[in-house]
Each structure stands twice: as structure tokens, then as C-alpha cells.
Structure 1
């Protein structure tokens, strides 16, 4: 295929998808050997398709060039089709933060059944709503339409000339949709909450559905621990990974009051109750301290199976249990009745609850597992136990129960940390930077 034929083929592709003046073609003679160079001035969407047509033309340096439109606006679509929990909330808060950037044009694709759909609509952003499901029967029926959903999604990306698709959290349908992102020419960002599923959640089809995408252009990890797992276990080049911490997912709350008047240190366990969370060891540490007369109480809040734990809880004074799921809009009231949150985890990527606790002025006590020591700096915004044993947890809790000055210091440290490191301004700046890096725009 000669240069004229290649030029004609590329021009045909571009004309089918983009009207003038979004592209123009020129060719020139370069080098002493008379080699040919094809300069393509176009949007990035079709770089891959054109590259397959003419991979070896010219001198080999800069043969395909795709600057952004003269407006310089970065078209980012945030994509998550989950109905409840951290995924929709993270997507909503990230959208709000990115809206403050005049150089970014934000689009959304969310589930019509999402519990936050009124808040998404209130943003008045361009949005593709996808009908997913609300129960098992509707999930089966909707899954039969996955091909038409895929086409609808691809058409939206093409018609709106999306530059970046940020999958903010994986969904059961995500793996069937990513190829449409790639074929549209948009770059794909994969926000990875867990590079490895937690014990009890791994195995079977779920591992396949929720493992990181292998063909993304960039990856967002919430901790360096997860970034290392992406590189070491999934063979993802480190240069493709950006560590961008998780910001508060709860609604803004005023920092909580100081320790209750009864002088008991109020401990809080908050989140899903699963074996890897180590709640059994926290209850054992609590029992040990109560026998020693340490003035503490414990509130356990979260959904999950408590049946195996109840024999440990029964008979212990000062324990409250709210064995139900708590939406992010109600998290502020949970933190208001706590002096410190305890994370006795046996395994962890990072904790989605830490930043929200810090925003309420609640420091943390945690085990030295996974990404937790990255989020919690011992003696600054919390305490890190020596290990995962009940004895080590008890020692850390006792230290805080006996030192009001330390508790006050950690409260201030928690507030300072969330303002300086875990704010949505920090997160959105990182997302914009990674997006531009994936496009090769270099900030243009």
C-alpha cells in the first residue's frame, strides 16, 4: 500500500467519524533516503485505528500526531453502574470536584436504579443513564440486553468525543463493556479499590469480574500497597499507575465533641462485618481491658453475620450493636458518638472509612496491615498496633484511654491530615494529571 492509498484510507475513517475542521492530512518528503512522513492532525479517538493501518511509514519518529482540540478541554466520562455503597458515592463526589476545573468537560454514566440518581441529576452534567437492575429477576433480564447496552455506551462515547473513560469502580458488566471503550479511541482509566479480593470474597466468578482490567491506559490505586500489588501480581507497568488517596465519602460533618462526660473512651468498629476485618480480636481485646478496669465502651455498627461473635459479646458490659448497613448520608451521626475508630483488620488494601472518620475529627487505631499504615501515621492521626493480636490491640487502646492529651493531639492530626492529604481537591488534581498523561497531552 503506497502513501496515497494509506492517506485515503485514514481520511475515510476520519470522515466517517469527525466533521472538518477536526482533522487535516498532509504529507512531506523527509530524510536523505526520501522517506515519507504522514502528518495527521486529528483528535486522539482514532489513533489506534490509524496506527494499525500505517505502522511503519516515514522515519519512525512521531509518525502519528494527535493534538487535542484547540479548545484544550478534556472530556472525561465517569463510569459506574452500581446501585449503592461506596462506588456511587465516590463517583458523585469526584464529579463534583472535577466540575471545578474549567479545562475539563465532565460526563457521567450511572445506573438509573442507583440510590443517588437524584443527586447525579442535580449536577446538570451530560449523563448516560443505564437501566441495570433492582433485584435478581431484573438482573437476569437486564443481562440479556448487555449487547445493546454496550452499543449504546459506545455510541455515547463516539458522539460526545470522550477522551477519557474513568471506571470508578468495577461492576458485574464492566468486563463486557471495556472493549467498546477501547474501540471508540477513548483512553481507559481503571480505579482499583482492591488489586486482590479479600479473603472470603475471592474465588469463583467474582475474582474474574472484579480483577483489574488488563488493557487500561492508566490505573488509580488508593494506596502504594495496592500499586505494588498491581505491578507484582498483575504485571502492570508502574508508570501506568498513580496513587491517588481516597477522600471522605460521608456528607460533610462538624468535628465531633471531645470525650464524653462519663470519661469512657468510646471505641467504634464501623463497616461490613467479615472474617478478615478481625472483629473477633477486637472483642477479645475489649474484654481484656474491661477486666482490668479500663474505662471504655464499644459500638459495633455494620451489616454482616454476627452469629459466631455473639457468644463473645454476651455478658460484656458497654457494647452496643447496630447490625445494619449504614448509608454515607448517616455516617456523620455514627462518628458523632465515637472518640476513636478501631480497624483490627487481618488483611487490607486500605480502608474507605478512615478519611471519613478523620473529617469528623475521629482518629484511628489500626493493625499494621496492607495500606493502613499509609493512611494512619502512628502518633500523628492515630495509633498502629504492634501486630494483629488482641494483646497488641489492647495495648494501643489502653494508651489512648489513659492519655487525654494524646487523644486531643490525634484529633487535631486527623483533621489536618484530611485537609492536606485526603481532600477532594487533592484527588481531582491527581485525576486530571493522570488523564492528561494517558492522552500524552502533557498539559496542553
Structure 2
């Protein structure tokens, strides 16, 4: 676990602000670390413990991560000792017209931090919230109102409030921080090695892909904003990374239904051959409610559903020049959740799934829709979308292997750890 903190406190991103304000030399880690850790009143030879609080305000839920770090000696590396994690649903974007409830949600989750962190450490422990696709999809004024409510709750709290403690994170930062976190936790980023794993993150509102290309042509033929440079261990890496707003699994449902951005929702019913024929319901996402249904007298099945999903993917998702020879990809969030729902992996252990496994299971579910209509009416649609996204979108081969996981070394596989440690680079806590 020492390696987890080591890399994330060294890396800096060029071209956009992820580690902005970090002035360390990157070569003398102990000296830099001595300047950024909290000042604690303890004997010189005692271990120093410090904490960080990160809120992940996603489109479908709000999660709090409370990290405990140990600095055993001034010349050594800090260790990530523990992560306390809790989440609630729905996401803050569901309160677009009731921002005060968003503030109440954050206030309740802060209780987790108060129970985890000793009272004497509260005033030197930073608390940060970063919102992702859910708030990106809202009208700016409504998103701002929610962020203001969160800021008020933070200001009332006993914790340390850094500058820009409540923000909407851009998709590039989200993809890179997740990539760095997962590669650290899996032990793939050490000095003098370039062996890494790619990451695929499928949220409710957006989806991200990040990997280290093996072919220079991948870099040269990709759109400039799909390539991010960052320095690590005196080496410059060029990462292929992109976030697709509107292609998260729930936003994709709306796109397939023709409902994303539609007006007059009260009088419209949005239909899909991906849904059971007799299914009809009100479905809420991003603070809006949609009337959706199957096609009572139409046809259903995988082939028709796949055609619907191609409209959501083709011409939108960029296919990297190369995905082979990039090593294993770790896939999480809704990739993991829907694979569990489909019986492809164990919900506790996770596991390796081939792209063709998603396709085969999608066919089985869609062609026997009635069996799954009660418990999971969206299972056909979601599995078909995942299959289409991986194959027609990113261009994965059917035998490409994905490691589906929720945690690595007991730490959530998300951008939150990287974002937390990035703040320890940017600020001085005294």
C-alpha cells in the first residue's frame, strides 16, 4: 500500500489543472512530503496519522470516502491504512429543484467522517466534493445552486475547507485519476516499468476509457484532446483518455428511447424494443421523470435492441487505433453491477469477463425477456448497450478480457483516492 501513496504524490498532469500549485521537485519525496503533511504534536519518533475526506457526487449516488494515512517516519513513505466508504442514492442532481435536500444529504454523510476521524484531527483534515456527469448534465444555474448548498454545509463543518473544495470535475481529470489509482492499487506503476492496465468506467451519466498506448500511431491519429501527458518518475507518459458525457448507462437508456433532452415529458411515452412488451413505468433520472414502456404489439429481442443501441454509440464513440497489446482492462461501476445482475460474476469476488460473454448473456436475456421483466426490466437494454459500447464503440475484439472489480486491496476502484492525494499536493496544512 505504500506504493499507492508514492506515485500519486509524485505525478503531475500537463495541459490541464489536476496537480496545479504543486511545486515539489519530484525527486526528493521525503522533503516534499514533509512540507505537505499535517503538523502533529507527537514525539519525533512517533508515527503520524492524517486523514482526507472526498465526496464523489455521481449521477446515481453520492459517496463519501474517508482515508486514513500513516507517516511512520520523516524519511519514509506514507501508507494508506484504511478507507471508510458509504454511499446514498439518488445523486445530488435529483435535487435540481430542491438544492436544500442536497445539502442535507452531505450533512448526513459527514457523520461518517466524524465517527471515523478523531475530534482533535478535524480542523486539519481537508474535506472536498467533486461532482461528475450528473451535475454536468444539469442547467448551469441549477448545478450552481446545489454546489452552493454543499459549500454552506462544508463551511459549517469542523473540517478544513481548501480552496475550490466544491467543484464539478471535468471528464479528463476523472479518467486520469481513475487510471492512476487502479494502476497503483494493482502494483503496475513502479519506477522503470511501463506495464500498466487500462480502465473502463461506466457511470450513470458518462463513461470513461483510459489506457497507455503501445503504438505511437494511436497518439498521432487521435484527436488532440484524447491524449494527456503527465510526468512520472522523470518520464513523460502519454495517456489515451476520454470521457463521453451522455453515454453513461442511464443517459444511454434515454438516448435510445429518444427521451434525452425531449420536451413535454408529461404527455409523452417513450417506447423501446429493448424493454418487455408489457412493461410500463415512470422512470426518474437527473431530476426528471419519464414515462417509458415496451412495445405491446411489436417485436422484441437482441437484434432489434442492438440496432437501437448502435444509434447511441456509432459516430459518437471514437475507436482508438489500437486496443490490442495494451494489456488487461479493469472495468468498474455499471460494468461490474450489470455483470453481477446477469450472473456473469460473483458480486463479492468479481472476476474476468470476455466481451463475448456480455454479448452471449445479452442475447439470452433479450430473447427471453419475460423471465427478467419483473426483477430487472432494463437488463436486456443495459447488457446490449455494454456489448455495443465495447464492440462498435471502442472496438474491442470479442476475446478481449475485462477484469471486473469493485475494490482492489479493499479500496474502491474510482478516481477518489487519486483526487484526495492530489489535494495533499496542492495545499499546505499547518
The answer to whether the superposition gives a TM-score over 0.5 is no
Structure (1/2) with the larger strand percentage: 2
- Higher-Rg member (1/2): 1
Structure number with the bigger relative contact order (C-alpha 8 A, sep ≥ 6) is 2
What TM-score does the superposition give when structure 2 sets the normalisation length? 0.34
